[in-house]
């Protein structure tokens, strides 16, 4: 029974850590499929986590907090869209800058609102749990307690399926993919490349902000400068590992979530130093990039500004 409880707990923790990665990675798939490279997902997650934690604390409403996190992330992404699409700027430099701006502004706002502290106060009300909403009494069952997950896990998988359906089963998705492969050809067929790239890039920030909000509200319970700690870059690795496909990126996020779950499950093991465990998700990310970066096929026009008529 103890072994079964450990298995169920590992799955539950894997899903908990995977959900913010899924939100962010799906956003990365969207923007890169449209031809705009967005490596600023880390900063958008941090900014979204800040907005979600602040509103979640003062309004005591986690859903309003998540919505605010999405708006915060979308705002940074809109700036990136302007630089990448309208100004034809360097998308890599813009993404790096937004990573710095997102975390820096988030920390500044937090210090102003919480008496100089770099972290927010603990959010009084977290994301509702699935079993609680179903009215299941888990007080006498360790197995049910281990199986508890929050609603954002379900939402993450739903969004991944919706984006997959839109990208591969609708005309809109075909136009998005055309903008990332041959924007000139898409333009000649009447596709508004600028509009599609703006929408997809902004949505990537909205989803990254949601991912940051989930991290702050469902996992950490507050915003701190280290609350994201590279998750945006792990989500980018999941996009590459998943070959720029929603389902592949989701499966990659589950793998990275499992690596993070192991750091929790194996914590306290005498022969395994905690420093080694803490490195596990990041080492796995580097290994994945080393092995799969040459085997993946990115959209042909990714990162390339489009000049009408070219």
- Length in residues, the chain: 310
- SS3 label, residue 103: helix
The residue assigned the tokens 């420093």 is 275
β partners of residue 129: 150
- SS3 label, residue 129: strand
pLDDT at 64: 96
pLDDT at 131: 75
Tens of pLDDT along 216-238? 999 999 999 999 989 999 999 99
% of the chain residues with pLDDT over 90: 73
Q: Is the pLDDT of residue 310 over 70?
A: no
Do residues 241 and 231 lie in contact, with contact meaning Cβ atoms separated by under 8 Å?
Answer: no
pLDDT at 1: 60
**Burial of residue 169, with CB atoms counted within 10 A of its CB: 0-12 exposed, 13-18 middle, 19 or more buried:** exposed
Within the chain, what is the greatest distance between any pair of CA atoms? 68
> Which residues neighbour 107 within 8 Å (Cβ) at sequence distance 6 or greater?
50, 118, 225
pLDDT at 129: 84
Question: Alpha-carbon distance 73 to 258, whole Å?
Answer: 26
Tens of pLDDT along 73-121? 999 999 999 999 999 999 999 999 999 999 999 999 999 999 999 899 9
Do residues 193 and 84 lie in contact, with contact meaning Cβ atoms separated by under 8 Å?
Answer: no
Tens of pLDDT along 117-151? 989 999 998 888 887 777 776 666 677 767 788 89
Question: Alpha-carbon distance 75 to 84, whole Å?
Answer: 14
Average pLDDT over residues 12-29: 96
What's CA 309's distance to the chain center, in Å? 34
Q: Is the pLDDT of residue 271 over 90?
A: no
| Residue with the larger pLDDT of the pair 140 and 22 | 22
What kind and span of H or E run contains 205? helix 193-214
CA distances from 61 to 12, 85, 199 (A): 24, 35, 28
Q: Is the pLDDT of residue 193 over 90?
A: yes
Question: Alpha-carbon distance 44 to 97, whole Å?
Answer: 11
């Amino acid at each position: 029974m103890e072994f079964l409880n450990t298995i169920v707990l590992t799955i539950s923790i894997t899903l908990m850590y995977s959900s913010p990665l899924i939100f962010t990675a799906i956003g990365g798939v969207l923007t890169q499929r449209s031809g705009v490279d967005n490596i600023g997902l880390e900063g958008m997650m941090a900014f979204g986590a800040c907005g979600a934690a602040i509103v979640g604390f003062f309004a005591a409403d986690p859903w309003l907090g998540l919505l605010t996190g999405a708006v915060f992330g979308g705002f940074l992404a809109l700036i990136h869209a302007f630089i990448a699409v309208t100004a034809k700027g360097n998308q890599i430099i813009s993404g790096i800058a937004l990573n710095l701006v997102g975390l820096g502004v988030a920390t500044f706002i937090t210090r102003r609102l919480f008496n100089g502290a770099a972290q927010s106060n603990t959010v009084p009300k977290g994301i509702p749990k699935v079993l609680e909403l179903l009215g299941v009494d888990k007080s006498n069952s360790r197995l049910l307690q281990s199986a508890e997950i929050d609603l954002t896990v379900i939402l993450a998988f739903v969004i991944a399926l919706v984006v997959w359906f839109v990208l591969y089963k609708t005309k809109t998705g075909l136009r998005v993919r055309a903008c990332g492969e041959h924007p000139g050809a898409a333009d000649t067929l009447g596709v508004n490349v600028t509009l599609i790239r703006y929408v997809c890039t902004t949505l990537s920030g909205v989803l990254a902000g949601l991912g940051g909000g989930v991290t702050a509200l469902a996992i950490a319970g507050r915003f701190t400068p280290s609350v994201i700690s590279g998750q945006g870059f792990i989500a980018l690795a999941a996009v590459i590992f998943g070959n720029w496909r929603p389902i592949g990126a989701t499966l990659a996020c589950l793998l990275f979530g499992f690596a993070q779950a192991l750091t929790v499950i194996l914590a306290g093991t005498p022969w395994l130093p905690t420093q080694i465990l803490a490195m596990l998700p990041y080492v796995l990310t580097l290994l994945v990039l080393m092995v799969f970066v040459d085997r993946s096929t990115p959209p042909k026009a990714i990162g390339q500004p489009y000049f009408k008529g070219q």
